[in-house]
């Protein structure tokens, strides 16, 4: 049973909220429809008032441009066609992502598989990867991750195209630790493909993220399978739940961190810890640290427009 995250009522400027939402998504050259503006606004629906009327006022003032059903603050019509093309590509890629998610869910200790990144927002650029967010059992995250990385490197010839496994959390630590606009947006747009029960638990653990978007519901889960634990998966989990399995999990984490520190030796410790977060209960592999670039660019845009 899904529960709506509690949101505290607060004064909100509807015009500024809509512009702020457009500014953020324009960092990705992504125009929004009126419905999307409502969902991703930080204003309650009751505070937004007549959304269409406000948008038309902004268009009349030249603060916002409308191209069909889409709105943006830049007079760049090509963004709309670009987005439509990305949406169509996402429709083509999603069935493959579902198959890959089913494959990932069959690995030992994997409990849930969500699509993250651009595909979770129904967009796929020609050079985009399919990113996965994975929930594992406690104290076996790094072992599960190592098995999946080994499969990718050996069986898939290290292809990232449809198998980019860059974020793991375990069942005992579902709350996303970094709390900001970027992580909130990524959290609420995750698309669950396996593990309905754990998505519902994840939603409850991250009410802080949905509170930033008070009009955005959790994803529907009626059609999300729980994922079957096959005899083979149960057998491997039984064998690796022993003390040697615990040692293997620790060794997998230590070896991976050692390898990353050698590969990304130019990173300072603070950047490494944020971009390549490595704890027993979480693994994040974002070496480009895209989060910081987006948040810095957004802060600059807000300051410039204020």
Topology, domain 14-76 = Arc Repressor Mutant, subunit A (1.10.10)
CB within 8 Å of 51: residues ≥ 6 apart: 14, 18, 34, 37, 38
Closest CA to 206 of 219, 193, 195, 194: 219
Can you give the pLDDT at residue 162?
86
Cβ-contact 249, 142 below 8 angstroms = yes
Can you give the pLDDT at residue 111?
97
Q: What is the DSSP letter of 41?
A: -
Domain boundaries for CATH 1.10.10 within the chain: 14-76
Cβ-contact 30, 83 below 8 angstroms = yes
CA distance 264 to 273: 12
Cβ-contact 156, 163 below 8 angstroms = yes
Can you give the pLDDT at residue 227?
74
Question: CA neighbours within 13 Å on the CB side: how many for 24?
Answer: 19
Pairing of strands 164-170, 131-136: parallel
Secondary structure of residue 70 in the 3-state scheme? strand
pTM, two decimal places: 0.93
Can you give the pLDDT at residue 11?
53
Cβ-contact 148, 107 below 8 angstroms = yes
Q: Which parts of the chain register pLDDT below 70?
A: 1-11
Can you give the pLDDT at residue 156?
83
How distant is the alpha carbon of residue 259 from its chain centre? 25
């Amino acid at each position: 049973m899904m529960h709506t995250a509690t949101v505290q009522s607060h004064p909100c400027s509807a015009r500024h909220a809509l512009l702020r939402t457009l500014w953020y998504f324009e960092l990705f050259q992504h125009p929004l429809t009126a419905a999307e503006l409502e969902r991703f606004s930080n204003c309650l629906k009751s505070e937004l008032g007549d959304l269409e009327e406000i948008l038309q006022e902004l268009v009349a003032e030249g603060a916002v441009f409308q191209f069909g059903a889409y709105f943006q603050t830049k007079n760049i019509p090509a963004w709309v066609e670009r987005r439509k093309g990305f949406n169509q590509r996402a429709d083509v890629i999603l069935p493959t992502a579902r198959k890959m998610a089913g494959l990932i869910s069959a690995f030992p200790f994997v409990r849930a598989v969500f699509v993250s990144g651009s595909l979770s927002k129904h967009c796929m650029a020609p050079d985009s990867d399919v990113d996965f967010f994975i929930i594992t059992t406690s104290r076996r995250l790094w072992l599960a991750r190592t098995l999946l990385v080994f499969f990718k490197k050996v069986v898939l010839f290290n292809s990232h195209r449809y198998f980019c496994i860059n974020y793991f959390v375990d069942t005992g630590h579902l709350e996303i630790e970094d709390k900001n606009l970027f992580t909130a947006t990524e959290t609420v747009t995750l698309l669950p493909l396996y593990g309905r029960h754990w998505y519902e638990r994840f939603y409850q653990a991250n009410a802080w993220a949905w509170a930033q978007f008070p009009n955005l519901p959790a994803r529907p889960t009626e059609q999300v399978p729980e994922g079957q634990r096959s005899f083979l998966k149960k057998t491997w989990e039984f064998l690796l739940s022993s003390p040697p399995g615990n040692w293997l999990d620790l060794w997998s984490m230590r070896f991976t961190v050692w390898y990353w520190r050698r590969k990304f030796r130019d990173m300072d410790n603070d950047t490494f810890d944020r971009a390549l977060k490595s704890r027993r209960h979480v693994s994040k592999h974002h070496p480009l640290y895209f989060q910081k670039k987006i948040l810095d660019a957004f802060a600059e845009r807000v300051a410039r427009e204020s």
